[in-house]
C-alpha cells in the first residue's frame, strides 16, 4: 500500500508540474532562462569563491561580464545577421530557380537518353514543385525564426528579468541545494543524492560542453565561409554552429544550404564549391575527434535520437521555454530510466534466482514391497 501511495503521489505531482508549466509557458521564459544561466555559471562562481572572492562579488563580476558580452552581441552581431538574413530571403527564389536550371541542364541529357522527352518534362515539373515548396517552407521558417528572435530580443522582461533572476539564484544556489537536500527523507537521501549527482553530470557534461562545441564550430564555419567569399557566410556559419546543439541537424543543414549557395554563386568553378564542402568536412572531423571527446565526453548518457525527440517534443509543447528545458529534463528522465532498469534487473521480477526459494512439497515415503524385501535378502 505504501508503494502504491508513493506512485500515485509522485504521478499526481508530475502531472501538476506539467500542467503548471503548460499553463504558464508564456510568462516562464525569463525565469527559466535565468535558472539555466545560474546553473551554467555556478561552477565559475564556486571557483572564484575558492580564490577567496566573496560570493556576492563573484556573482556581480560574472553577470556583469555576461551582460557586457550580450550587449556587444546585440550591437555588433545581430545587425549583421539581420542584414544577411533579409538579403538571403530576398534572393532565395532566384537561388532556387538557378539550382533548378542547373539540375535540368546537367541531368537533362542523361535523363533524355534513359527515358526520353517525357521523362525530362516530368523531372522538370516534379523538380519545380519540390523546389518551390522547399523555398516556401524555408522562407516561412526563416522569417518566423527571425521575427520570433527579434521578439525575444526585444522583450524587456527577457533583458531585465533574466539577469535579476540569475543574480539571486546564483547567490543562493548552494543554500537552495542544501534546503532541497534537507527535504529528502533521511533513509532515501543516499539514493536521491546519487541520482542527483548522475543527473547533474549528464546535464553539465552536455549543456556546457555542447555550448562550447557550438560556439567553436559556429565561429569556424562563419570565418571559413567568409574567407572563401561565400555569400551570407556569417549567417550560414553561425546558424550551422547554433543548430549543432541538435546532433547531425546543424552540420547537415549548413552543408546543404552552403553547398546550394556555392553552386549558384561559383558555378562552374568546382574549386570554390569543393572548398566550401571541405570546410564542413574539416569541421565535422574536428568535432567528432577533438571537440566532442574533449568538451562533452562519453559519460553524458544522452543518445542523439532521444535528445532530438526531447528538443522537438518540448519545443512543440512549450515553445522556446521547452527548448531550454528539453536537455535537463531529457537527462533527468534518462538517469531515472537507467536507475529503474538497474532496479528491475536486480529484482525477483527479472531473475527468479533472486527470489527466495520456496521449499518443494514433501512426498510421503513409500513402504517397501515384499518383492523388494526378498530381493534385498
Q: What is the pLDDT along the chain (377 residues), one digit of tens a residue?
A: 466 777 777 788 878 887 887 777 777 777 888 888 888 888 888 898 888 888 888 889 998 888 888 888 777 777 777 788 778 877 777 777 777 777 767 665 655 555 555 555 555 565 555 556 655 655 555 555 444 444 444 455 667 778 888 888 888 888 888 888 888 888 888 888 888 888 888 777 777 777 888 888 888 998 998 898 888 888 888 888 888 777 677 778 888 888 888 888 888 788 888 988 899 888 888 887 787 777 766 555 667 777 778 777 877 777 667 777 777 778 788 888 888 888 888 877 776 654 454 454 454 444 444 444 434 43
Q: Quote the CA–CA distance of 223 and 237 in Å, as a whole number.
A: 8
Claim to verify: residue 150 and residue 221 sit in the same structural domain: no
pLDDT at site 153: 47
Claim to verify: residue 205 and residue 143 sit in the same structural domain: no
Claim to verify: residue 64 and residue 202 sit in the same structural domain: no
Query: Is residue 343 domain-resident?
Result: yes
pLDDT at site 148: 47
Query: Is residue 217 domain-resident?
Result: yes
Number of domains in the chain: 2
Domain boundary among 177, 202, 230: 177
Claim to verify: residue 307 and residue 202 sit in the same structural domain: yes
Query: Is residue 372 domain-resident?
Result: no
Claim to verify: residue 254 and residue 299 sit in the same structural domain: yes
Q: Could you tell me if residue 184 is left (phi over 0), alpha (psi between -120 and 50 degrees) or otherwise beta?
A: beta
Claim to verify: residue 122 and residue 210 sit in the same structural domain: no
Query: Is residue 31 domain-resident?
Result: yes
Claim to verify: residue 203 and residue 346 sit in the same structural domain: yes
Claim to verify: residue 79 and residue 216 sit in the same structural domain: no
Query: Is residue 146 domain-resident?
Result: yes
Query: Is residue 91 domain-resident?
Result: yes
Claim to verify: residue 162 and residue 100 sit in the same structural domain: yes
Claim to verify: residue 144 and residue 212 sit in the same structural domain: no
Q: What's the domain range around 145?
A: 25-177
Claim to verify: residue 75 and residue 128 sit in the same structural domain: yes
Claim to verify: residue 165 and residue 197 sit in the same structural domain: no
Query: Is residue 335 domain-resident?
Result: yes
Query: Is residue 95 domain-resident?
Result: yes
Length of the chain: 377
pLDDT at site 174: 85
Amino acid at each position: 500500500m505504501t508503494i502504491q501511495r508513493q506512485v500515485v503521489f509522485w504521478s499526481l505531482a508530475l502531472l501538476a508540474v506539467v500542467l503548471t508549466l503548460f499553463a504558464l509557458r508564456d510568462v516562464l521564459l525569463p525565469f527559466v532562462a535565468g535558472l539555466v544561466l545560474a546553473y551554467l555559471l555556478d561552477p565559475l562562481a564556486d571557483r572564484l569563491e575558492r580564490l577567496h572572492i566573496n560570493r556576492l562579488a563573484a556573482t556581480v563580476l560574472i553577470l556583469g561580464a555576461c551582460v557586457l558580452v550580450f550587449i556587444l552581441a546585440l550591437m555588433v552581431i545581430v545587425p549583421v545577421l539581420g542584414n544577411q538574413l533579409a538579403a538571403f530571403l530576398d534572393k532565395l527564389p532566384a537561388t532556387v530557380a538557378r539550382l533548378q536550371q542547373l539540375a535540368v541542364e546537367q541531368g537533362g541529357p542523361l535523363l533524355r537518353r534513359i527515358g526520353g522527352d517525357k521523362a525530362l518534362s516530368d523531372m522538370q515539373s516534379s523538380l519545380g514543385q519540390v523546389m518551390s515548396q522547399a523555398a516556401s517552407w524555408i522562407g516561412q521558417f526563416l522569417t518566423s525564426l527571425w521575427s520570433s528572435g527579434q521578439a525575444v530580443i526585444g522583450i524587456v522582461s527577457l533583458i531585465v528579468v533574466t539577469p535579476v533572476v540569475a543574480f539571486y539564484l546564483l547567490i543562493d544556489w548552494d543554500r537552495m541545494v542544501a534546503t532541497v537536500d534537507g527535504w529528502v527523507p533521511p533513509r532515501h537521501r543516499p539514493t536521491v543524492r546519487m541520482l542527483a549527482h548522475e543527473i547533474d553530470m549528464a546535464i553539465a557534461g552536455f549543456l556546457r560542453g555542447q555550448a562550447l562545441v557550438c560556439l567553436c564550430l559556429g565561429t569556424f564555419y562563419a570565418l571559413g565561409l567568409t574567407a572563401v567569399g561565400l555569400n551570407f557566410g556569417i549567417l550560414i556559419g553561425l546558424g550551422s554552429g547554433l543548430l549543432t546543439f541538435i546532433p547531425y541537424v546543424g552540420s547537415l543543414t549548413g552543408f546543404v544550404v552552403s553547398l546550394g549557395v556555392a553552386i549558384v554563386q561559383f558555378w562552374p568553378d568546382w574549386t570554390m564549391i569543393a572548398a566550401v564542402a571541405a570546410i564542413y568536412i574539416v569541421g565535422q572531423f574536428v568535432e567528432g575527434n577533438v571537440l566532442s571527446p574533449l568538451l562533452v565526453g562519453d559519460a553524458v548518457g544522452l543518445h542523439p535520437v532521444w535528445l532530438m525527440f526531447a528538443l522537438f517534443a518540448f519545443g512543440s509543447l512549450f515553445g522556446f521555454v521547452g527548448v531550454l528545458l528539453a536537455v535537463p529534463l531529457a537527462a533527468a528522465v534518462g538517469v531515472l530510466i537507467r536507475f529503474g532498469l538497474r532496479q528491475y534487473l536486480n529484482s525477483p521480477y527479472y531473475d527468479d534466482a533472486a527470489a527466495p526459494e520456496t521449499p518443494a512439497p514433501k512426498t510421503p515415503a513409500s513402504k517397501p514391497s515384499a518383492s523388494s524385501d526378498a530381493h534385498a535378502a
